[in-house]
Structure 1
Amino acid sequence: MTTHPRTKRAFWGDIRFFIGIALVILSILGVWLIVSSARETTPVLQANRTIAQGEALASDDFRVVEVSLGAVLDEYLAPQDLVSGMIASRTVETGELLPAVATADAQSGRTTNIVIESSVGLPEHIGVGTPVELWYSPPLDDAGEYDAPRILAADVVVASIPESDGMLAQHSAAIELIIDRADVADVLAAITGGAALSVVPLGAGS
């Protein structure tokens, strides 16, 4: 009986075996890292009230919440990121996480606050952060006649409503507005000139 020598297994076959094991291990490790990352939370700031554009940002306006943001973590502010001199560059709604793009340095702000008296009262749905237009009617004479109303300042934001009861006011009402600094002179001139001022929410029509 003729015997044949046993063929020795090629070395490259053993290498493929070990490569296969390594790939399985790397796959398991990758899944574990993804799951672990999803479970990691980071403290970030969440607004506990509506903050109007141009308002100064203070720690009392926020609460710290633990959230899992993953790759977008750097887009939101943590408690240590809030420093003196920051303002809101846009309105931040109640419950919204504070994004970095919604903040700016106060010295770079182009807006200021001014309180006006609306001659026709305020609609009930106007609140802090509401975008509005400021209209005015110049006086014609001393008899109480006024010219046709026209826009005095556009892209205005409500900062606060002093002594507002939230209902449709029947008489004049004070309101604090955030306006562009370029419009301040015109607004003050309208006030001192005795013009009738009114606030119109954007989208309400003219």
Structure 2
Amino acid sequence: MTSPELARSRPRPRAFWADARFFLGLVLIIASVAGVWLLVTTSRQTSPVYAAARTIVPGDIVAADALRVVEVGLGVNAPTYLTADDLGDGLVATRTIGAGELVPISAVGDAGSARTTTVVVRSATEVPASVTAGTVVEVWSAPPEEQGRYGTPAILVSDATVAAVTRDDSMIGGGSASLELVIARSDVSATLAAVAADAALSVVPVAGSAP
């Protein structure tokens, strides 16, 4: 066999880049499998966090009787929700938390720093059926005038949250209602003054504020 024929019959060494591409593909496959396994494992892990057992309005004490424990798969978001380790004395809601909603830590605060309080007012007009605990309303006030008349209504409180409502559906009540409202402390003086002056108070739900 001649030298050229012998050279052609010898196997050529495998190129290094071909081996590198093989190992790179193997690494990618392993990484993909590991990623899928980690995703499935994480999705199956659940954490015990609190959900609201009822509608909690701003200023309400956030205690165990207003909460229920649920097991949910939150992954990396778990630390942002209230757990038994976070629950302590003196916690109040800083915003409305709907019944069944997971309780974010950002929605509670220290009672000592609360900027709201509750007052009870009686509406002089019928309160819409859509107004329930958690509904955000405006409070309008019409000052009393002579001979049982009232002046032009004006907004007394622009942002109040209904904590409770008791309707008087009797013929004597005329559809009026008594409402416990959560209002800013800065609005307390004017509200109490209007109540003391026998002003005609009315509540108007803010659009899109249903709990």
Pairwise same-fold verdict (TM > 0.5) = yes
Structure 2 match to 1:80: 85
Q: 1:172 to 1:23 in 2, by over 3 A?
A: closer
- Please say if 1:42 is aligned against 2:21: no
Aligned residues: percent identity? 46
Aligned position for 2:132: 127
Cα 1:28–1:144, aligned 2, differ >3 Å: closer, same or farther? same
Unaligned runs of 5+ residues in structure 1 are: none
Out of 180, 194, 199, the residue aligned to residue 195 of structure 1 is 199
CA change 1:8–1:111 in 2 (3 A) is same
Secondary structure at 1:190 match in 2: helix
Q: What's the CA shift for 1:21?
A: 3.0
Cα distance change of structure 1 residues 110 and 171 upon mapping to structure 2, 3 Å threshold: same
Counterparts in 2 of 1:6 and 1:197: CA distance versus 1, 3 Å? closer
Match of 1:109 among 95, 114, 122: 114
- Distance (Å, rounded) in 2 between the aligned partners of 1:165 and 1:171: 5
The residue number in structure 2 matching 1:136 is 141
Q: Does 1:180 align with 2:181?
A: no
Q: 1: CA distance between counterparts of 2:54 and 2:143? A: 36
Q: 1:14 to 1:173 in 2, by over 3 A?
A: closer
Mapped contact 2:57–2:162 kept (Cα < 8 A): yes
Give the partner amino acid of 1:118: S
Q: 1-side partners of 2:168 and 2:125: how far apart?
A: 15
Q: How far apart, CA to CA, are the structure 1 residues paired with 2:75 and 2:89?
A: 27
The structure 2 residue matched to 1:170, chosen from 167, 174, 179, is: 174
Q: Return the alpha-carbon distance in structure 2 between the equivalents of residues 153 and 15 of structure 1.
A: 72
Matches within 5 A, 1:19-34: 19-34=24-39
Partners of 1:7 and 1:177 lie apart in 2 by 88
Q: Is the Cα–Cα contact under 8 Å of residues 126 and 176 in structure 2 kept in the other structure? A: yes
State the distance in 2 between where 1:7 and 1:37 align: 48
The Cα shift of 1:7 comes to 5.1
Amino acid at match of 2:41: S
Q: Quickly say closer, same or farther: Cα 1:22–1:171, change in 2 above 3 A.
A: closer
Q: Distance in 2 between matches of 1:23 and 1:110?
A: 55
Q: Deviations over 1:154-185 (max 9, x none)?
A: 10111112x44799x62442211011111111
Task: Tell me how many residue pairs correspond in the alignment.
Answer: 202
Counterpart mapping for 1:47-62 below 5 A:
47-62=52-67
The TM-score normalised by the length of structure 2 is 0.83
CA contact (8 A) 2:168 2:175 kept: no
For 2:120 and 2:39, how far apart are their aligned partners in 1?
52
Q: Secondary structure at the match of 1:96?
A: coil
Q: What is the CA deviation profile of residues 6-56 of structure 1, one whole-angstrom value per residue up to 9, with x for unaligned ones?
A: 655567765554444333222211211111111111111111111112211
